[in-house]
Amino acid sequence: MKLKAALIGFGIIICQQGFTQIKHVPHSSAPAVRHDRSGPLMGNAIQNISRHDTPSANQPGSNPNYTVEPNSPERRGYGDYIAEPSVEQTQFGTKNAPRLVASFDGLGVGFEGPQGTATVRNPSDNSLAVGLNHIVQTVNSRMAIFTKRGRQFDSTGKVLYGPVETRNVFRGFGGPCEKINNGDAVVRYDQLADRWLIVMPTFRRLPSRETELINGVPGVLGRAGKAEPLFIPPYTKPDTSQPIRQPRPPKEEGAYCMCYAISTGPDPFGPYYRYEFTRKLFPDYPRPAVWPDGYYTSTSTGDDVIEKHAYVVDRTKMLKGEDATEQAFIIKDVNFLVNADLDGKQLPPAGAPNIMLAAGGSQLKNILEDDGIYAWKFHVDWKDPAKTKLEGPVKITVAPYRYMGGGQLTKAVPQPGTEQRLDAQGDKLMARLVYRRIGKRESMVAVHSVNTSAGAGGVRWYEFVLDNNREVKLFQQGTYAPTAQFRWMASPAIDRWGNIGIGYSFGGADEYPGQRFAGRHSGDAVGIMTLNEAILVSGEAAQTYTLRWQDYTQTAVDPSDDETIWYVGDYLKKDAKSYSTKIGAFRLNQEKKKSR
């Protein structure tokens, strides 16, 4: 039975689903407690460039690799197609593999930049963003900036900045954003505005502060901070201590917070508008998403409680450096949430709510399987917060699945030469939930890690479409498992043609963990990754000191051509004790033949 519930204003509605009971607590709205405009990261060392035109999102008919299948959305309406039950794809795609057009090592073992080296923490919390001329990577509590070949640089992968602590972006800002260097930071490139977005949570409470709210006005004494050049750390020698994950927060009376930095232009060296929003609940595992009316960020209270958070901040005001507010819902008894993150520059219809999805089941209740993906519509009203509403969940029936490895923080993936297995984070949809509009076609792709019939793990992927009523419908699904090894912890993207690319970890009892990439062309037979598998990097050693592996990773579509898909993931070099990262760029279309 299909059920729907809406939470409007400050009311509480409890809605029932077959898999669990979802409880919403009151909607809240609050201003930023602090914001300012920073100076540039490196003064004038890197010159700003003007925004240049990018290819428009053409119709699929212009795609040199495009074909029309009987069940293609171009042959028949999206609302008419009912996806068949998913079956495992146990063979490689027969088309040429995605082309690896660039790759280089990012942060991790072997990395050295202008600020030296750094011993990075585990898990890596890999995040990647790609702009017109730069690539920005965050790994747990460190960040770096690299060149991207194009108008400004003649090569890709040269280190311009880093490794620096992520909190360096908040140098001179004051408060916990500057004081506490945290993991789980995420970087995005907002291609709609050509801006960089860095989101960083704080993982421990501070003593109560008078500046958390002064007469209802955000900021210190209601004034924006003075713009100051940000700190350039000196070259430092590596810390040889064993990398560890930061401990859980102690119980204090003050608030946690979420820190946002939005660049004033396409240069990642800034300056940045910076914001601090307080959080009463522990803001774990943030997943920022770009949407026209806001930056949406879902978080979790922790691993030992079933409680998630749906937040949105006022993107329009923050792009201008103006006072901004944040609105939120707290949702109990639900799995990890992920918001639709826009690829390309074609916008959804004006006023369209952001879509939020979650897998079913509940690891803490030992419910490790389900046959549904659950959807919400998050509509924000900045003029009248009482009209902000969250509708859902609505169950979308999919092929049955079982969490890979039994969920998160479990020993799931075997490795050669060791009894240590790796975590797969099998209980949740992974970042990103990508949204792409091409003409009137609106689709989203989601992925998670599931058990396979071979006793290993594969990437379950879905393409959903939005009908005329903005209801989420399943268009196609598949489980990519062409061999008996493990494929897990994936991240998807959709290019300008509607092609789907997915990067993921690969390994098993006879293969060290590394990174691979698969894809399909728009219009190909449904439910199949039709392109052969590409290798980004092969692992050379096992990770033996911890089961934690990445926690998440990330794709990014290059705004310069809206076609190249960048991806980052972990691997271990030979004899290494900790991870390195590999950043790669793939194209799914084959080279066009030159005309005679």
Kindly report, residue by residue over 508-540, the tens digit of the pLDDT.
Answer: 999 999 999 999 999 999 999 999 999 999 999
Matching residue, tokens 């949105």: 312
Determine, yes or no, domain membership for 207.
yes
pLDDT tens track for 384-395: 999 999 999 999
Residue 124 · residue 139 · CB < 8 Å: yes
Check residue 37 and give its pLDDT.
84
Q: Other C-beta atoms within 10 Å of 6: how many?
A: 15
The predicted model gives 227-256 an average pLDDT of 61
Q: What is the reported pLDDT for 70? A: 34
Tell me how far CA of residue 318 lies from CA of 198, 272, 379, in angstroms: 12, 10, 19
Q: How confident is the model at residue 29 (pLDDT cuts 50, 70, 90)?
A: confident
Candidate from 90-94, 147-151, 422-426, 586-590 with smallest mean pLDDT: 586-590
Q: Alpha-carbon distance 212 to 208, whole Å?
A: 8
Mean pLDDT of 250-264: 84
User: Per residue in 85-133, pLDDT tens?
Assistant: 458 999 999 999 999 999 999 999 999 999 999 888 899 999 999 999 9
Q: Which residues pair with 112 in a beta bridge?
A: none
* Structural contact between residues 483 and 474, judged by C-beta atoms closer than 8 angstroms: no
pTM: 0.86
Q: How confident is the model at residue 448 (pLDDT cuts 50, 70, 90)?
A: very high
Decide: 388 and 24 in contact? Cβ < 8 Å: no
487: Cα separation from own chain's centroid? 18
In the predicted structure, residue 224 carries a pLDDT above the cut 50: no
Report residue 418: phi and psi, to 5°.
-155, 155
| pLDDT of amino acid 209 | 61
Report the C-alpha gap between 193 and 321 in whole angstroms: 14
DSSP three-state, residue 109: coil
The CA distance from 572 to 363, in Å, is: 29
The strand pair at 472-480 and 88-89 is best described as parallel
Contact present, 403 and 460 (Cβ < 8 Å): no
What's the distance, Cα to Cα, between the start and end of the chain in Å? 60
In the chain, what percentage of residues exceed pLDDT 70? 80
The secondary element (H helix, E strand) that includes residue 439 is none
Which region among 17-31, 135-149, 230-244, 514-528 has the lowest average model confidence (pLDDT)?
Answer: 17-31
Q: Please indicate, yes or no, if residue 79 is contained in any of the structural domains.
A: yes
Q: Which residue has the tokens 């598949």?
A: 478
Say which amino acid occupies 511: E
Please, which residues bridge with residue 24 across strands?
Answer: 331
Q: What are phi and psi of 421, to 5 degrees?
A: -105, 165
Burial of 563-593, coded b for 16+ CB within 10 Å and e otherwise, reads: bbbbbbbbbbbeebebbbbbbbbbbbbeeee
Q: Which tens digit of pLDDT belongs to each residue from 168-194?
A: 999 999 999 999 998 999 999 999 999
Residue 483 tokens, joined? 């061999």
Residue 246 lies in a domain: no
Domain count for the chain, please give it.
1
Q: Are 514 and 539 in contact (CB under 8 A)?
A: yes
Tell me: pLDDT of 5 over 70: no
Q: Mean pLDDT across the chain, nearest whole number?
A: 84
* Model pLDDT, residue 60: 34
Residue 593 lies in a domain: no
Mean pLDDT of 554-560: 98
Band of residue 34 on the pLDDT scale cut at 50, 70, 90? confident
In terms of Cβ atoms closer than 10 Å to its own Cβ (0-12, 13-18, 19+), residue 244 is: exposed
Residue 52 lies in a domain: no
Q: Rounded CA gap, 137 and 143, in Å? A: 6
Q: What is the pLDDT of residues 455-506, one digit of tens each?
A: 999 999 999 999 999 999 999 999 999 999 999 999 999 999 999 999 999 9
Does 366 fall in a domain?
A: yes
pLDDT in tens, 294-342: 999 999 998 888 999 999 999 999 999 999 999 999 999 999 999 999 9
Q: Is residue 243 part of a domain?
A: no
Q: Is 141 helix (H, G, I), strand (E, B) or coil?
A: coil
pLDDT tops 50 at residue 74: no
Domain coverage including residue 41? 6-45+62-238+251-345+352-587
How long is the chain?
596
For residues 21 and 165, which has the higher predicted lDDT (pLDDT)? Answer: 165
Residue 175 phi, psi dihedral angles, 5° rounding: 75, -170
Residue 311 host element (H or E): strand 307-313
- Asked if residue 59 has pLDDT above 80, the reply is no
Which residues are paired to 406 by β-bridges? none
Q: How far apart (Å, rounded) are the C-alpha atoms in residues 558 and 296?
A: 21
pLDDT at residue 273, rounded to an integer: 95
Distance CA(132)–CA(51), nearest Å, equals 8
Q: State whether residue 518 is helix, strand or coil.
A: strand
Please indicate, yes or no, if residue 465 is contained in any of the structural domains. yes
Quick check: 170 and 259 in contact, CB under 8 A? yes
Q: d(Cα 103, Cα 121) in Å, to the nearest integer?
A: 23
User: Considering the chain, what percentage of its residues have pLDDT values greater than 90?
Assistant: 73
Token pair in block for residue 253: 């009376």
Q: What is the per-residue pLDDT across 577-590, written as a single tens digit (0 to 9) for each?
A: 999 999 999 999 87
Q: Could you tell me the pLDDT band of residue 219, with boundaries at 50, 70 and 90? A: very low
Residue 61 backbone phi and psi in degrees, to 5: -60, -20
Where does residue 18 rank: exposed (0-12), middle (13-18), buried (19+ CB within 10 A)? exposed
Q: 3-state DSSP call for residue 467?
A: coil
**Separation of alpha carbons 504 and 449, rounded Å:** 10
Please name the amino acid found at residue 520. R
Choose the weakest-confidence range: 216-230, 367-381, 515-529: 216-230
Predicted confidence (pLDDT) at residue 57 exceeds the cutoff of 60: no
Q: Do the Cβ atoms of 550 and 424 come closer than 8 Å?
A: no
- Compute CA 184 distance to the chain's CA centroid, rounded to the nearest angstrom: 11
**3-state SS, one letter per residue, for 208-277:** CCHHHCECCECCECCECECCCCCCCCCCECCCCCCCCCCCCCCCCCCCEEEEEEEECCCCCCCCEEEEEE
Name the residue with higher pLDDT: 192 or 55: 192
Judged by average pLDDT, the poorest of 36-50, 398-412, 416-430 is 36-50
pLDDT, residue 35, reads: 83
